[in-house]
Chain A
Amino acid sequence: MKKRVLSTILAAALTVASMTGFAVPAQAEEVPNIVVVYAWNELPANLDAIESRLSEIAEEKIGATVTLQGFTYGNLMQQMSLALASPSEQWDCLPGMFRSGLAGYVAQGQLNDMTDLLEEYGQDVKATLGDTLLKGSVCNGRIYGVTMLRNNASQECIVFDKQYIDELGLDVSGVADYADLTDIFAALHEAHPDRYVTGSSGTKPTLLINTFNGHDPLSNNLGVLMDASVPEVSNFFESDSYREFLHLTRSWNEAGYIYPDILTDEGNSGANLMKNGLCMSYFTSYTPDNYAEYNALSQSGETVVCPLNSTILMTAQTWTWTIPTNSAYPDKAMQFINLCYSDPEVISLLCYGIEGENWEVDEDGFAVAIGSDYPDQKTWEIGNGSLIPVQKGGQADHWDQIKAWNNAATPSVAFGFLFDSADYAAEETALASVVAQYRSLLEWGFASDVDAKLDEFNEALYAAGLQTYMDAKQEQLNAFVAAE
């Protein structure tokens, strides 16, 4: 009996077994073929046409054909971990989303050192970024990635749907700090009690995205520089200003301003809610003259944006062009990346699609989308978007505004510093778990007793090894500052 049962079960399990496919290794060709990865919020419908046009240009300019692998943002992050861990996969140019910096990937030998390649083939990259921005992706003195020209500095902002501001005749020009928002929120809530006042651009986010009052989070807020000009690592979550901020957001939540499902709603970001008319504003990271993007996410099609607090230039690589170790032609890859900083046609193909088919230039010189085949047109992911016409909705001096804002940001004393946490992986994992447990909850004001919950948060952090982690960070930072 027992044997029969077991064999029935085994047989059932085996029938599930299916044939697996075998990857055919790439043939050696005369013209090298490089694999270029690119990410969109939604893939262009004519990806194949874009790929073949891109390939033609690349063959002519750098002597290599191009295979374009398109991903959605979320998908890319998952595929990245897989592809970078399989040596048989060929990825030559990767504009990766490195949430916690390049250090971990470099330590595992997953990225190519680009320093010499950049010297040989990357003149336009260097000219576009300048020495300061190049420094942002240095690991152990070598360059492993190049950032794109975009909002390289960091600042927080709040985006209001303009219809509500106009309707109530509110003056938001004076808003420069979170505390200034309370009166505006109160007025909005009173006029539209059935709508939520505010949310965030992300799904299940923390309220603070990058920086708070110009503090440098040193990539993960576990040991930060409260004053970015002083290399002194301290616990951000223990600071008085953070406590005060949490009391402020608690008062917002109690007054009913905050979208109540913000911590759990996987499907709707605040931006989506605003587009649907459920939310009247959302917090996001600031980019000057970014109305083309902000307006698209509002119900009325018009927005008012208030930058909050100060601007800072810190090591926050997130999106970075890299050449993974599994690249077959690193030199061709570097040459292609250089095209993304110099060749208007390559740039426009990846940013807007095929000219005349996906976009055209209007009489004022702005790029206007044609049809809906290319739904996610943007210039920040490419390298140097300033070489092609500005997207409709922006201003003619869009890129001057961005560059001016980047230059005006105070560089952190730790700019270019990357904490190598390889020896503190146990602490980091435990700390990440504690942060997941408390941070969003506190920042969106869901803790009924802010002080008690915050103390509990800090105790849990120290129990998880925050002090050891911060000491190590401080030690490495001291060495970095001394070397500078």
Chain B
Amino acid sequence: MADGTTKTRKKQWWRYRWMYLMMLPGIIYLIINNYIPMAGLIIAFKKIDFRKGILQSPWNGLNNFKYLFATKDAFIITRNTILYNLAFIVLITVTSVAVAIMLAEINNKLALSLFQGSLLIPYIVSYVVVSYLGFAFMGSSGFLNKTVLPALGLDPVNWYLETGPWIFILPLVNNWKNIGYASVIYMATIVGFDSSIYEAASIDGASYWQKVTRLTIPLLKPTIITMVMLSIGRIFYSDFGLFYQVPQNSGAILATTNVIDTYVYRGLLERSDVAMSSAAGFYQAIVGFIVVFAANKLVQKISPEDALF
């Protein structure tokens, strides 16, 4: 019996040999780039002395982590990071699924590529450029202050000094920038659905809206869950460009724009302390890991067949 299984295994290996060969460069890349450097996590617990090297440097206990928790900033940056990421995940998922469903309905090739292209452009634009676009809108002599607000009879707003608006500006910019890319994945999945199901539904008299809610969305569920889980793993990381460049690194609005990554960057810019920055990375990775496991457990409870692992 056992012999038989091994044989089948071997057969399977042989059958998929070209697949495995194709995987090889990727696996090697993953090992070199993502696994070997993990040994460097040790730096987070060291008081680094470049003369002695990483291994010989003295241990520093948890001192390198202290700055992430010791002050009241710790609460603000953790809160901002998590809440913004949650908002981003919800917004991006809802809007990009909607956009994907709408795009899938377009039959005109030219129109489709036009829409997709214009949705994707923001994704490939660098955040430095985005920050200038934002400045053109929100600067003291920008579009909003010189054109929009006067037209509405409102006073100009010093956008980069007011904390309030950024709670909306940041998710808006993030969504604008990433929606094209996210919707491509959903659209690719929708296009792959068996059209006979839809035909059957039409024959049964299902309305368009019913097809969307009863067919498309349930069929998309596994993709959505996978995408959301991948985002949740990075819930403790933040898009540095978005939080640093777009608010123009303005100090006055730190209360609503400071996240873990920007806090670490600002704090260590002058210290260039390798160990402290490793500690921050370590912290983010560990928490992200735990959150993914917890989320997966939750999915297992709610709908076991959709859990990632």
Contact = CB atoms under 8 A, between A and B. Distances in A.
Interface of A: 1-2, 5-6, 8-11, 14, 17, 80-81, 84-85, 87, 99-100, 104-105, 108-110, 204, 220, 260-261, 263-267, 325-326, 421, 425-430, 432-433, 435-441, 446, 463-465
B139 A433 contact: no
Given A261-B139, A263-B250, A440-B251, A430 B270 contact: no
A99 B271 CA distance: 9
Interface in B22-78: 23, 25-26, 29-30, 33, 48-53, 63, 66-67, 70-73
B249 A204 contact: yes
A114 to B, nearest CB: 15
Interface stretch (B83-91, B146-154, B222-230): B222-230
B250 A264 contact: yes
14 contacts: A2-B222, A11-B26, A17-B25, A17-B29, A81-B272, A84-B272, A87-B50, A260-B141, A263-B161, A325-B50, A430-B70, A430-B267, A436-B254, A441-B251
B252 interface: yes
Contacts of B222: 1-2, 5
Contacts of B243: none
B67 A426 contact: yes
Most A Cβ at <10 Å: residue of B23, B254, B271: B271
Contacts of A9: 185, 226, 230
B226 A5 contact: yes
B139 A84 contact: no
Nearest to B161: A446
Nearest to B70: A426
B271 A425 contact: yes
Interface residues of B, number: 57
B131 interface: yes
Interface of B: 23, 25-26, 29-30, 33, 48-53, 63, 66-67, 70-73, 131-132, 135, 139-141, 158, 160-161, 185, 188-189, 222-223, 225-226, 230, 248-252, 254-255, 258, 263, 266-268, 270-274, 276, 305-306, 308
B49 A100 contact: no
A426 B276 CA distance: 9
B141 to A, nearest CB: 8
Contacts of A437: 251-252, 254-255
A90 B73 CA distance: 38
B193 to A, nearest CB: 11
B251 A464 contact: no
A264 B271 contact: no
Contact of B50 (A109, A421, A433): A109
B266 A436 contact: yes
B49 A446 contact: no
B73 A464 contact: yes
Contacts, number: 150
Given A9-B230, A263-B161, A108 B50 contact: yes
A427 B25 CA distance: 45
A430 B160 contact: no
B72 A104 contact: no
B53 A87 contact: yes
B116 to A, nearest CB: 16
B249 A99 contact: no
B55 to A, nearest CB: 13
A330 to B, nearest CB: 13
Most A Cβ at <10 Å: residue of B23, B49, B50, B267: B50
Contact of B248 (A84, A100, A264): A264
Contacts of A441: 161, 251-252
B71 A430 contact: yes
Contacts of A263: 160-161, 248, 250-252
B67 A429 contact: yes
Contact of B66 (A6, A109, A325, A426): A426
A464 B71 CA distance: 6
A436 B274 contact: no
B271 A104 contact: yes
Given A204-B248, A429-B67, A441-B161, 12 more contacts: A11-B26, A84-B50, A85-B50, A87-B50, A108-B273, A264-B135, A265-B248, A325-B50, A429-B71, A429-B268, A433-B266, A437-B255
Contacts of B66: 425-426
A260 B53 CA distance: 48
Contact of B51 (A2, A109, A446): A109
B29 A100 contact: no
Nearest to B272: A81
B70 A100 contact: no
A104 B49 contact: no
Contacts of A84: 50, 272
B8 to A, nearest CB: 19
Contacts of A14: 23, 25-26, 29-30
Contacts of B52: 109
A438 B50 contact: no
Contact of A99 (B33, B139, B141, B270): B270
B26 A430 contact: no
A104 B273 contact: yes
B140 A428 contact: no
A433 B267 contact: yes
A445 to B, nearest CB: 12
Nearest to A464: B71
Most B Cβ at <10 Å: residue of A260, A437, A441: A437
Given A109-B51, A433-B267, A425 B230 contact: no
B26 A17 contact: yes
B51 A430 contact: no
